[in-house]
């Protein structure tokens, strides 16, 4: 089958082995797959992953152990857990020590004609949600994990550092809390949609003089973390969403002195993400910068760093 895979180099092939569906898994034919910053970081060595890339998808189930899934349009949580260990039984399935992660860790991803995922990871897409919106479910769920983990008060000053792929979701989610929200980034050409939503946008070279109660770093690079640390108030909360291959330096002594609360934040809840899309509360169409067929996947990856979201049509 056709696939985009990484094996030390990013490659496109037409003869990648077909996936083998294991018990409890569904075989899925993707319609659209998004290129995320994590995909780009994998090509730079992140997680040392070799295999088919892609974890943001919307597709159709073509075979499954449970026949009720067949033919349904779905999105899917990316962590395939054992569901039996003590970690899973306490509810932390995304941290299962035996897990595989779609297109990131020990499981081939969605940038192919077919891929597999446990049925327990699947969510049916509401009929009113288009493929072009549904493909944003996974990063939108990751944005929702912030409010799942930490109470964002409407009286708080909140800054999001990074106006890229994930920042586009986070800023739209956190605006719904009513907080005093500022987006800090390097791409003013992307800001019209956020300003129309009442969000303050400033350049990373023109940082505001006041400090923030909550700062979210989603830049995907060490310099963004440094900016986030500069603008957090003592006893503030610093939420880390970035995953990247490069090393970073954070003065932990000053984190202690200023009593900063550090929170790592990763995957999030899919059901509320789909509800937000169904209710039209998240703008997705303005975020799509380009769309390529799977056969032009290498060109799509080359274009992705300069775009908010590049989609692959399978």
pTM, two decimal places: 0.95
Both tokens assigned to 256: 């202690």
DSSP H/E element including 160: strand 157-161
pLDDT at 247 over 80: no
The count of other CB atoms within 10 Å of the CB of residue 120 is 14
User: 């067949």: which residue's tokens?
Assistant: 70
Per-residue model confidence as pLDDT tens digits over 85-125: 999 999 999 999 999 999 999 999 999 999 999 999 999 99
Helices (H) and strands (E) in the chain, counts: 10, 19
Report the pLDDT averaged over residues 255-270.
Answer: 94
Instruction: Give the C-alpha separation, 170 to 258, whole Å.
Output: 25
User: Which residues contact residue 67 at a Cβ distance below 8 angstroms, ignoring those fewer than 6 apart?
Assistant: none
Q: What is the mean pLDDT of the chain?
A: 95
What is the per-residue pLDDT for 246? 72
**What is the Cα–Cα distance from 286 to 171, expressed in whole angstroms?**
14
Q: Rounded CA gap, 110 and 13, in Å?
A: 14
Nearest-angstrom CA–CA distance, 88 and 279: 31
Q: What is the pLDDT of residue 252?
A: 84
What residues have CB less than 8 Å from 26, skipping those under 6 apart? 61, 63, 64, 65, 69, 74, 116, 117, 118, 119, 122
């Amino acid at each position: 089958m056709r696939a985009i895979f990484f094996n030390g180099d990013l490659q496109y092939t037409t003869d990648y082995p077909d996936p083998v569906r294991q018990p409890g898994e569904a075989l899925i034919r993707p319609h659209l797959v998004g290129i995320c910053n994590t995909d780009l970081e994998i090509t730079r060595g992140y997680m040392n992953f070799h295999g088919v890339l892609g974890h943001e998808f919307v597709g159709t189930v073509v075979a499954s152990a449970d026949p009720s899934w067949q033919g349904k349009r779905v999105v899917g949580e990316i962590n395939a857990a054992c569901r039996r260990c003590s970690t899973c039984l306490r509810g932390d399935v995304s941290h299962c020590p035996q897990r595989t992660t779609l297109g990131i860790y020990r499981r081939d991803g969605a940038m192919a004609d077919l891929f597999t995922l446990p049925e327990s990871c699947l969510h049916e897409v509401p009929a009113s949600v288009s493929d072009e919106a549904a493909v944003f479910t996974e990063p939108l769920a990751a944005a929702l994990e912030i409010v799942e983990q930490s109470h964002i008060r409407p009286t708080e000053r909140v800054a999001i550092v990074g106006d890229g792929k994930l920042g586009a979701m986070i800023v739209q989610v956190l605006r719904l809390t009513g907080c005093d929200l500022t987006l800090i980034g390097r791409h003013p050409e992307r800001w019209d949609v956020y300003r129309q939503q009442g969000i303050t946008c400033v350049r990373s070279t023109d940082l505001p003089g006041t400090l923030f109660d909550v700062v979210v770093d989603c830049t995907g690079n060490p310099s963004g973390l440094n900016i986030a640390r500069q603008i957090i108030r003592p006893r503030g909360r610093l939420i880390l969403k970035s995953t990247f291959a490069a090393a970073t330096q954070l003065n932990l002594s000053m984190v202690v002195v200023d009593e900063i609360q550090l929170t790592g934040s990763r995957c999030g809840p899919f059901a509320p993400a789909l509800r937000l899309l169904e209710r039209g509360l998240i703008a997705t169409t303005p975020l799509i910068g380009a769309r390529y067929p799977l056969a032009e996947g290498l060109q799509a990856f080359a274009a992705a760093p300069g775009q908010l979201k590049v989609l692959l049509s399978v």
